[in-house]
């Protein structure tokens, strides 16, 4: 897989959860992965039940096989201070600017600059090597902005053209785009088996492709388990004889079969639930067909009925590994 894994998705689809599980999956068998957050929500810290992430890389998990997952919450103000020190050697003068509010002002009035700083920090981690010339991280996973903003966020060169046509900022944007538009980077979209998230996924993929950015995989999150097989669904759609169902329930010891008995009272709510399930199954098949037309590898992650905790993240990572994500 590409070394920079960008994870986006419509709000509510669980993109942060998928990014965390992907980092765990990629770090197995002794590898190192860096999980990067760019939206300042501290969602990664909450998922791993750890303290808020500082503006430094910190180990937050050990993957199966001895791999390690590090995490970083990129703060645009601190990233700009790094940038000023790197290119202009401002040092204490840069810190003075922060105290005066100039750093916050700059990143607020120039959102293109903000995105260059955020993506630039992640790209630096992708390119970084140790003294032996080996990459420090095998993979960098970015928990990126939602689908509606992802193309603009990643297409940072276009965003800063009007801001700086020459100089260090321009050169930094060019260096970032060389990574983002190369085979080193893949953008994955997280969705649900629902019409609006699937449509937004299709629109996002079209925008990414038009911008020359590499699309990776579609990850369908929170997939409900199948409770009825196809024969049962066909029976429900065709209509179930209420009397026969009542007698079957009574035969199973669930109330008397006579009219008005306990079994008879169970028939209506059971059929209502079965019909709702059958209707949802039809809608999900339609959305799977729509996703198949996108021409990207598709993976499915189950809905965790017991809720999401650290153990749940490891389970989702195993699911991804079992589906060939490595």
Domain shared by 168 and 270, yes or no: no
The string of pLDDT tens digits covering residues 154-198 is: 987 666 655 556 566 677 778 888 899 999 999 999 999 999 999
Whole-number average pLDDT of the chain:
82
Question: Among residues 262, 23, 313, which one has the least CA distance to residue 139?
Answer: 23
- Residue 300: exposure state from Cβ atoms within 10 A (0-12, 13-18, ≥19): middle
On whether residue 284 sits in a domain, the answer given is: no
Domain shared by 38 and 112, yes or no: yes
In this predicted structure, what is the pLDDT of residue 157? 67
Cross-strand pairs, 70: 34, 59
In this predicted structure, what is the pLDDT of residue 94? 44
- Residue 49: exposure state from Cβ atoms within 10 A (0-12, 13-18, ≥19): exposed
Residue that wins the pLDDT comparison between 130 and 266: 130
Element (H, E) at 17: helix 15-26
- Host domain of residue 260: 230-279
Domain shared by 200 and 241, yes or no: no
Domain shared by 207 and 240, yes or no: no
Domain shared by 237 and 311, yes or no: no
On whether residue 286 sits in a domain, the answer given is: no
CA distance 202 to 191: 10
Domain shared by 134 and 165, yes or no: yes
Domain shared by 142 and 250, yes or no: no
Q: Which two tokens stand for residue 268?
A: 């209506």
On whether residue 213 sits in a domain, the answer given is: yes
The per-residue b/e assignment along 243-264, b for 16 or more CB within 10 angstroms, e otherwise, is: eebbeebbeeebbebeeeeebb
Q: What angle do CA 64, 305, 5 make, to 5 degrees?
A: 45
At residue 186, φ and ψ (nearest 5 deg) are -135, 140
On whether residue 148 sits in a domain, the answer given is: yes
The SS3 assignment for 234 reads helix
Q: What is the CATH number of the domain that holds 208?
A: 3.40.50.300
Domain shared by 188 and 266, yes or no: no
Domain shared by 21 and 61, yes or no: yes
DSSP-derived letter for residue 225 is P
Please determine, for residue 98, whether its predicted confidence score (pLDDT) is greater than 70.
no
Number of domains observed in the structure of the chain: 2
On whether residue 287 sits in a domain, the answer given is: no
Lowest mean pLDDT among 97-106, 119-128, 298-307: 97-106
On whether residue 291 sits in a domain, the answer given is: no
On whether residue 196 sits in a domain, the answer given is: yes
This prediction has a pTM of 0.82
The end-to-end CA distance of the chain, in Å, is 7
The SS3 assignment for 37 reads strand
On whether residue 59 sits in a domain, the answer given is: yes
Strand ranges (E), the chain: 4-9, 32-37, 58-62, 68-73, 139-143, 185-191, 215-223, 298-302
In this predicted structure, what is the pLDDT of residue 211? 93
Domain shared by 210 and 259, yes or no: no
């Amino acid at each position: 897989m590409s070394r920079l894994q960008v994870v986006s998705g419509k709000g509510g689809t669980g993109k942060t959860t998928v990014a965390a599980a992907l980092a765990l999956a990629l770090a197995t068998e002794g590898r190192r992965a860096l999980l990067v957050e760019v939206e300042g929500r501290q969602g990664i810290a909450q998922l791993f039940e750890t303290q808020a992430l500082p503006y430094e890389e910190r180990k937050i998990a050990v993957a199966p096989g001895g791999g390690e997952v590090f995490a970083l919450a990129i703060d645009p103000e601190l990233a700009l201070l790094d940038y000023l020190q790197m290119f202009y050697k401002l040092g204490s003068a840069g810190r003075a600017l922060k105290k005066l509010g100039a750093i916050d002002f700059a990143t607020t009035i120039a959102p293109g600059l903000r995105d260059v700083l955020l993506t630039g920090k992640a790209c630096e981690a992708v390119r970084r090597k140790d003294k032996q010339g080996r990459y420090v991280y095998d993979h960098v996973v970015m928990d990126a902005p939602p689908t509606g903003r992802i193309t603009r966020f990643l297409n940072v060169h276009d965003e800063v053209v009007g801001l700086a046509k020459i100089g260090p900022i321009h050169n930094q944007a060019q260096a970032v785009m060389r990574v983002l538009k190369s085979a080193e980077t893949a953008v994955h979209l997280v969705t649900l088996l629902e019409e609006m998230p699937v449509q937004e996924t299709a629109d996002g993929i079209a925008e990414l492709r038009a911008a020359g950015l590499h699309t990776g995989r579609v990850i369908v999150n929170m997939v409900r388990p199948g409770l009825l097989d196809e024969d049962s669904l066909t029976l429900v759609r065709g209509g179930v004889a209420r009397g026969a169902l009542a007698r079957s329930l009574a035969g199973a010891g669930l109330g008397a079969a006579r009219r008005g008995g306990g079994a008879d009272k169970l028939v209506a709510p059971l059929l209502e639930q079965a019909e709702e399930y059958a209707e949802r199954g039809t809608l999900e098949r339609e959305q799977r067909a729509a996703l198949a037309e996108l021409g990207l590898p598709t993976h499915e992650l189950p809905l965790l009925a017991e809720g999401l905790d650290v153990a749940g993240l490891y389970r989702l990572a195993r699911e991804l590994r079992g589906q060939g994500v490595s």
